[in-house]
Amino acid sequence: MTNDSAQNRSDIFPKLLAGIAVAALLFLATPAHSDPAGASGKPSLQSLSWLAGDWAFVKNGRVINEVWMAPDGGTMLGMSRTVANGRTVEYEFLLLRQDAAGDIFYAAKPSRQAETSFKLIRATATEAVFENPQHDFPQRISYTLKPDGTLLAAIEGQKDGKTRRVEFPYQRKKS
């Protein structure tokens, strides 16, 4: 081996390390690997991943299940079903999506009703609140993960001139 080829190899090593360092920094700076709130300071769908799972409760002989898939592909998909006397009496298809501006929307398509969207107005590590003041009822939908691991979902707003709130105290279903 000549001194020239050894010199060329020693010049390549620092360049190779610099290239790897630049690639790693670019990888870490992409949205999928950055701060969950994103550069806009707004919450990301990933920050709502605590909602994912299979939730249920029973009230007055009605079994209500709500299932949320983990965030992926820019969405969280959910669905709800209410069963009474062995029959599905209500259902709802749900979608959480983040738009280009970074705002998160909750789209709900209940049985026999038109789809409605609610904008995320508040989010913490254990709470998400969505609002649509123009909707008839509800105007607000909230989810709160309690310290004991239960999930309290609620719909609320004005109906017939009165403030109304309906709570859904879910337990995580065992797999």
Domain ranges of the chain: 3-33, 45-172
3-state secondary structure of 161: coil
Tokens found for residue 145: 């993960």
User: Residue 60: pLDDT above 90?
Assistant: yes
User: Residue 10: pLDDT above 90?
Assistant: no
**Per-residue confidence (pLDDT) for residue 41, from 0 to 100:** 84
Reported CATH class of domain 45-172? mainly beta
Closest CA to 67 of 57, 55, 58: 55
Tokens found for residue 79: 């669905």
State the pLDDT confidence band at 175, using cuts at 50, 70 and 90: low
Mean pLDDT, to the nearest integer, of 17-46?
52
Tens digits of residue pLDDT in 66-119: 999 999 999 999 999 999 999 999 999 999 999 999 999 999 999 999 999 999
Rounded Cα–Cα distance for residues 110 and 166 (Å): 16
Task: Answer whether 78's CB lies under 8 Å from 96's CB.
Answer: yes
Return mean pLDDT, the chain.
85
Rounded Cα–Cα distance for residues 67 and 129 (Å): 18
User: Residue 138: pLDDT above 50?
Assistant: yes
State the pLDDT confidence band at 23, using cuts at 50, 70 and 90: very low
User: Which residue type occupies 161?
Assistant: G
Task: Answer whether 113's CB lies under 8 Å from 101's CB.
Answer: no
User: Which residue type occupies 49?
Assistant: S
User: Residue 126: pLDDT above 70?
Assistant: yes
